[in-house]
Amino acid sequence: MARSSPRSLPHFVRSPGRWGDWEGPLSSSTQNAELAGLRRFFRWARAEGLRPDDPTEGIRPPRREPYARARGLSAEEVARLLAAIPVESAAGLRLRALVLAYLLTGRRRSEVLNLRWRDLDLEGGFYRYSGKGGKERQRALPPPVRLAILVYAEAAGLAQKPEEAVFPGRWRDQPVDGKYIGEQLRQAAELAGIPLERPLHTLRHSYARALRRVEAPLEAVQAALDHSNLATTSIYLRQLEGQEDPWWPKLAAELGLIGGGEAASSPTEEQS
């Protein structure tokens, strides 16, 4: 604390390697959260007379870039990922059921992992979950997800008691750890030749991207993702799909890169 300075703190906030085995760059939201915590700490230290100054003063928070690293899987990548998951064990069947649940519902990590058997209506074909802010919601349970859950439950010998977790870890009443599942998913993705930076959240991104591929309107994607406003969904999809540029055809024509100009600029075969 005594050696902290306005020059050293920004480097500390940006530096990776302080979050378990994560070695990539920290997101702007993570950096902002850490900087806010450091500000509270050093203001307290100065008020208590432990430091004469506050080294966080004058440090500008990094600019937030929502969903800057958002990535969704293509249909071909999804097929490769599912093929790479071993289904000879209950653990493999659990991972496959989880992957299908994320891909076909678009739910956040905790919204799936925290499911209890009382949250599933297997006969009626729907499930209940707690979204952001603790809001209770109910949605249709896709048949492939229902089947995958039942196959896993049978292989794992789950009693399907109402209070028990649908995807338990060591104890039946506690859900499996999300980091553990994320690592399993990352290993399966490596076998499939797919780089995954945020394994479980990438599946939510893939759900959103797939909705757009099947021509779901923006409002439908917003409702499916439980976004509070349309602007959030628009930013989300723009990062996944890229910003549209309606002007490039006219610009290319102006520069002679379409039609005759394009043909004239193409290489010709060398004469032997």
Catalytic positions: 108, 132, 201, 204, 227, 236
Tokens of 71: 């990535």
* Radius of gyration in angstroms for the set of CA atoms belonging to the chain, rounded to a whole number: 24
